[in-house]
Structure 1
Amino acid sequence: MNKDKVYLKGYVIGHAADTLGYQGLLVQLENLDVVEIDKNLVHKKIDEPQLIKLKDVIARIKDFDSGTQIVWLDAILNELGSDYGILKYKTGYEQGRFEGEYVGQQLKDADKVRQELNKPVVKQFVADWYEEHKSNLDYELWDYVSDWKDQKPSEFKEWFNKSNKAFQTLVNMHQFGYEVGKEKKYKVKFKNIQSGTRYLKYDGVIEKWYFGINQDSNATRLCHTKEELEEAGFGEVFDSPLFEVEEVEK
């Protein structure tokens, strides 16, 4: 006779008995087969807690509706300890918040770079005109160009007329902001002449350079940039012994 012992592992799911005093147990094996075993052959007490498998718990919870699932999960986390539940939720929250903040910051940085790249550096008279007309810029630009002949001579009109990017510059100022470039300006005058018409000036009406008195007007400019002087053919005044060049703050 074979003396080898055989163990069957499963869950008690019912009972069996007869009039002769036999008592048996219905056991569901892991392969889901159900067998009947004499109670005396079961090595565990019938009231001993059965082992619970995680997969069975998960399967049970999955069968619940969403509201019951939340109740069960909260109860399990609380039973394990409030710190455990809080830690899990906090870890997920912090990770999500970090990733969200990172993406948000990347977008902000990209937008900041875009603004800086498109922010024009303009002269003060351009900034002055923009600030005066920015509340209705589209109309003001159209009106300025439509009445071009009636616009008084000014540095802005001269710049607008010569620049091939005047419109784009003003639009970029409106969208991205602007900076006023610090540009040196100079007064040029004949040396050794004490008074009279000895200052180099530019008349915006007739678009001519001439020597006049030490005074600005709407039509004339007394102070000039180095670029303006060089374009007009007066670049040599900076090195000529005949002229005195005075830097002014504008």
Structure 2
Amino acid sequence: MTKFEEELKKLPIKIIEHSVGYTKYYNAANVKSLIAKADTEIEYLKSKLEPQALPVVPGYVAEWYEANKATLEYSIYSIHVDMSDLEDTELTDVQIWFDNRNNKSLETIFKMKDGYIIEKPKLFRLKLRNTADRNHYLWLNRATNRIFIDKKFLYWTNHGNVKNSFTEQEISEILDGAFVNNEAFELVPVEDGE
């Protein structure tokens, strides 16, 4: 028996007799008082709970969630069914994320209904090593997919089609991975706000 039910049993009961039998009822003022007391206790207990941190997810997971939140259970089921029919090399980023046990994907997805934070990808620059002027970096023109080496700070830094800061995934895609572990370049993390 709950505390509310115990308190309810303590309230005086009125009995009304009528032609069919009788009816027991509680005085409305007493019940309202008991409910108000319970509400106050609930608010107090809620204030003692520690706020739960919002889950941090990659942007592509946030996009998938927003597109599928109306049919979340079915969408999760579909992902797992699709994953069982595909080879590892055919999986999408979202499926790979779901498949990684460290992500606690089901728990994370259901916590996202209360809000979430989109993970900021770690960015790097590829700095040219062994040069007299150690301020030369790899740049990529995304429109032409051509690379060039130039100074780090130019007025068009990372605007439009030209950029020099990349995620690890993007580095692996430049010229089909030519700059992954390339000894001519040093991987330099980009600081926040830089």
Q: Please, what TM-score do these two structures have when normalized by structure 1? A: 0.37
Higher Cα Rg, which structure: 1
Q: Please, what TM-score do these two structures have when normalized by structure 2? A: 0.45
